[in-house]
Amino acid sequence: MNPDLVAHATDGSAYTVRYDAVNAMLLNEFIKEHRKVEEQGRKNEEQEATINKLASKLAQQQKQIESLTAIVEKVSDRVALSQAAPQVLANQQ
């Protein structure tokens, strides 16, 4: 217990509790905790927004990867065909 909340008799013994001060102290502590909760909520909202942006960017990049993969496969197929064509001609001679 906070010693400032106890009223003492003239002989130094505890006489009573200063309940008016207890209420003020409890209110102050509640306000501090409430502010912390509000700040955590704000940070949580910011983090959710960041996560949503990153998820969107990831989906966009995945589409780009798929598109580029398809292009690379087409180019690889063309290269394979162009290399196979001379071999076919060489075999026919």
- The model's pLDDT over 33-91, given as tens digits with 9 standing for 90+, comes to 999 999 999 999 999 999 999 999 999 999 999 999 999 999 999 998 888 766 555 55
pLDDT at 29 over 90: yes
Q: Give 92's pLDDT tier (boundaries 50, 70, 90).
A: low
More confident residue, 39 or 1: 39
DSSP states along 14-65: EEEE-HHHHHHHHHHHHHHHHHHHHHHHHHHHHHHHHHHHHHHHHHHHHHHH
Which three-class secondary structure state does DSSP give residue 88?
Answer: helix
